[in-house]
Amino acid sequence: MIWSNILEWLNLDQKAIFLYVIDSKGSSPGRAGFKMAINEQHEMVGSIGGGFMEHKLIELCKHNLLIRDFAPFIKKQIHKDSVAKDKSGMICSGEQIIAFYQLSSADIEFAKTITTSTKGILIANEKNLQFEKSSSLTQKFESEISSPSNWVVKEDLNKSPELHIIGGGHVSLALSKFAKEINFNVIVYDNRSRLNTMEQNNCAKTVYLEEYSSIKENVPNGAQTYVVIMSFGFKTDKIILKSLLKGNYKYLGMMGSQAKIDTLFKELIEEGISNKRLEKVHAPIGLPINSKTPNEIAISILGQIIQIKNATLNSQGTLV
């Protein structure tokens, strides 16, 4: 987490510059909510979109902002070669606005609070950064930018997506690791006690269940919930899927061969499950990249989840 790095720097009495994308439109490499920081030793963490634009703004920090005091300000970056003003040097055709803040040892308590809190809102305006502990928003990100000298942005830092993996085998272990790297809260369920891959999983909260038939009670509905079914066998997969089909999730997928999926779906239809309900299940799960190993399969699954997760981001230009 970027704030852990910032806190470490501040504790060493290192000044830091915090760069925060507070708005984005169109095909912009940096989306609202992207963050980056650089310290006096020119160590960096995070990203505001990469490419020439990021390099240019890093140089601004190194050779200007880190050697003087400054008040918060914003810079618009337009990713078009044809514009005369605010040109980013990139040609993606979108645009973004980045806010710049100076952090010092005086901000240690702020950074410590935001690092250790499990819930809260980051508020950025033309004066400073604030953190409202234990508060929440109805959506991930809200912004109101009236002018270069008047803006307020609120980001709910508790709105991380949840990945519920039902089945704790080797693919589950790999998927947990990769999903955690992109800020999913991961919960893994299995009905087998003392399973070695569950015991090895330090990237997820693990839950042992007596019966899979009650799995729906553990998986919340909502646009931040992603569900992957990969239990020990056909019978348990069927029990799990049947329990979850009436739920409302951002993503519901099941691992298995096409032959297995066809047979399972045929049985469910014969038991009265409608085709309409089954159509929302991604099965066989994952992107068709001919993956073989647990790591490759996990990457194909996570790739499909990212594709679904970012579909709204691509159409609206904001994080979900």
Q: Do 145 and 188 belong to one domain?
A: no
Q: Is the pLDDT of residue 314 over 50?
A: no
Tokens standing for 200?
Answer: 């090895």
Q: Is the pLDDT of residue 306 over 90?
A: yes
For the chain, what is the radius of gyration of the CA atoms? 23
Cα–Cα distance for residue pair 131/123, rounded to 1 Å: 6
**Contact predicate 35/19, CB 8 Å:** yes
90 or 64: which carries more pLDDT confidence? 64
User: Is residue 304 a part of any domain in this protein?
Assistant: yes
Whole-Å CA distances, 309 to 25, 98, 131, 203, 249: 18, 24, 26, 20, 11
Strand (E) or helix (H) holding 125 = strand 120-125
User: Is residue 229 a part of any domain in this protein?
Assistant: yes
Share of the chain above pLDDT 90, in %: 78
Cα–Cα distance for residue pair 192/158, rounded to 1 Å: 31
Tell me what pLDDT residue 137 has. Answer: 85
Q: Do 192 and 148 belong to one domain?
A: no
Share the mean pLDDT of the chain: 92
User: Is residue 318 a part of any domain in this protein?
Assistant: no
Tell me which long-range contacts 259-268 makes (C-beta under 8 A, separation of at least 24): 260/234, 263/234, 264/234, 264/237, 264/238, 267/238, 268/238, 268/241, 268/242
Tell me what pLDDT residue 257 has. Answer: 93
Strands 141-147 and 150-156: antiparallel
User: Is residue 320 a part of any domain in this protein?
Assistant: no
Whole-Å CA distances, 199 to 43, 104, 231, 302, 309: 35, 41, 16, 22, 29
Q: Do 31 and 81 belong to one domain?
A: yes
Q: Do 182 and 137 belong to one domain?
A: no
Final residue belonging to a domain, choices 156, 188, 213 = 156
Q: Which domain holds residue 143?
A: 2-156
Strand (E) or helix (H) holding 309 = helix 294-309
Q: Is the pLDDT of residue 41 over 90?
A: yes
Q: Do 127 and 10 belong to one domain?
A: yes
Q: Do 229 and 132 belong to one domain?
A: no
What is the pLDDT confidence band of residue 27, given thresholds at 50, 70 and 90? confident
Q: Region 229-256: what's the mean pLDDT?
A: 94
Final residue belonging to a domain, choices 156, 175, 194 = 156
User: Is residue 73 a part of any domain in this protein?
Assistant: yes
Residue linked to tokens 């950064």: 129
Q: Do 149 and 279 belong to one domain?
A: no
Q: Region 215-230: what's the mean pLDDT?
A: 93
3-state secondary structure of 171: helix
Share of the chain above pLDDT 70, in %: 97
User: Is residue 263 a part of any domain in this protein?
Assistant: yes
| DSSP state string for 52-117 | HHHHHHHHHHHHTGGGS----EEEEEE--TT-SSSB-S--SS-EEEEEEEEE-GGGHHHHHHHHH-
Q: Do 308 and 194 belong to one domain?
A: yes
Q: Region 207-217: what's the mean pLDDT?
A: 89
Q: Do 18 and 133 belong to one domain?
A: yes
The set of residues, in sequence order, having a beta carbon less than 8 Å from that of 315 and lying 6+ positions away, is: none
User: Is residue 282 a part of any domain in this protein?
Assistant: yes
Q: Do 9 and 128 belong to one domain?
A: yes
Encode pLDDT of 99-138 as tens digits.
999 999 999 999 999 999 878 999 999 999 999 998 888 7
Encode pLDDT of 258-281 as tens digits.
999 999 999 999 999 999 999 999
Q: Do 279 and 204 belong to one domain?
A: yes
Residue linked to tokens 């073989």: 292
Tell me what pLDDT residue 312 has. Answer: 53
Final residue belonging to a domain, choices 130, 156, 182 = 156
**Contact predicate 120/157, CB 8 Å:** yes
CATH code: domain of residue 250: 3.40.50.720
User: Is residue 10 a part of any domain in this protein?
Assistant: yes
Q: Is the pLDDT of residue 89 over 90?
A: no
Tell me what pLDDT residue 199 has. Answer: 92
Tell me what pLDDT residue 118 has. Answer: 77
Tell me what pLDDT residue 229 has. Answer: 97
Encode pLDDT of 153-178 as tens digits.
999 987 778 999 999 999 999 999 99
The tally of domains found in the chain comes to 2
Cα–Cα distance for residue pair 317/315, rounded to 1 Å: 6
**Triad 179, 3, 98: Cα angle to 5°:** 95
Q: Do 214 and 101 belong to one domain?
A: no
Tell me what pLDDT residue 284 has. Answer: 94
